[in-house]
Every structure is written in C-alpha cells, then in structure tokens.
C-alpha cells in the first residue's frame, strides 16, 4: 500500500456551512457520534477548516475526543488570518488554534484564491468527508466517501 493510499484510509475532512441556532444541538450530537464512529473504524487524522461554525464545532469535538483517543490528530486549515480576526468566535478560535496538532494558514488577507487553496488542503489525502451542506458536488469529484449529517 502506498503512503498516499494509506493516508486516505486514515484521513477525514469536514465541509459545511453555517448552522441555524435551532439546529446546533442536533447537528452537534450527530457530528460527535459520527466522529467517534470514524475513530473506531480507524480514522486518526482530521482536516478541519476554521471558516464556519460547522468547522469550529467539528474541531471542538475532536479536541475533546483526544482525551479518550490520544492517537487522533487535528490539522487546522485557516483560509486567512484577516477573516479570523473578524470572527465573533474569537475565544473559541483561540482555543482551537492552541489545541490543534498542526496549523496551516493559507494567506494573510482573504480572497477567493485563499478560499480555494484552503479547500484543496482540507481534502488533500482525505478518503472521507463529513458534510453539512447541499453543495457537495466539488467534494464528490475528489472521490471521497461522503458522510452527510444534514
């Protein structure tokens, strides 16, 4: 088995939009259960963005689950530092930044190029993708197993 194929069998990314407040509890519960299911099936590497509240929710669950499953890794991919500074979730983002295993910043300033580059980095080496979005066509094209929790 090549290293790339081996990574795909152990790596999952997340792709999702904003979550309405009325649905956050339900989505959070489904997301945590799905992450644990993936861990129990051998997934140990999680690529997460830092752009939307679905991303932040996934990252927090992974950080908490590291106490139970210390072998899992959180790779945080940040599209741009300027967009992060605008966020209303500053405390939560700082918590995630300091607890991620790796931090990859695409650009200092936000533009469409950094958004696309961040999406490439998210899906790199991922064999699985947990989604909360109707716009998954670009993810399907990458040949990943899609797990939709919408």
**Distance (Å, whole) CA 146 – CA 132:** 10
Residue 27's domain comprises 3-148
Q: What is the CATH number of the domain that holds 127?
A: 3.40.50.450
132-150 pLDDT, tens digit each: 875 566 666 667 788 888 8
Query: What's the whole-model pTM score?
Result: 0.86
> How many separate domains does the chain show?
1
Element (H, E) at 113: helix 112-123
71-102 pLDDT, tens digit each: 999 999 988 776 665 556 677 788 888 999 99
**DSSP character for 124?**
T
| 70 Cβ neighbours under 8 A, 6+ residues apart | none
CA angle 124, 128, 133 (to 5 degrees): 95
**Distance (Å, whole) CA 68 – CA 63:** 10
Between the alpha carbon of residue 45 and those of residues 84, 95, 103, 119, the distances in Å are 23, 19, 13, 16
């Amino acid at each position: 088995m090549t290293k790339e194929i081996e990574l795909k069998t152990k790596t999952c990314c997340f792709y999702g939009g904003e979550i309405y407040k009325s649905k956050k509890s339900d989505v959070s519960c489904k997301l945590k259960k799905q992450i644990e299911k993936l861990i129990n099936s051998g997934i140990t590497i999680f690529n997460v963005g830092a752009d939307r509240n679905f991303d932040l929710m996934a990252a927090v669950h992974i950080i908490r689950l590291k106490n139970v499953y210390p072998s899992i890794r959180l790779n945080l991919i940040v599209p741009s530092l300027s967009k992060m500074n605008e966020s209303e979730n500053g405390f939560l983002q700082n918590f995630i930044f300091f607890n991620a295993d790796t931090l990859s910043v695409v650009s200092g300033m936000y533009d469409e190029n950094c958004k696309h580059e961040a999406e490439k980095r998210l899906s790199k080496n991922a064999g699985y993708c947990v989604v909360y979005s109707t716009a998954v066509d670009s993810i399907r094209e990458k040949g990943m197993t899609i797990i939709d929790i919408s």
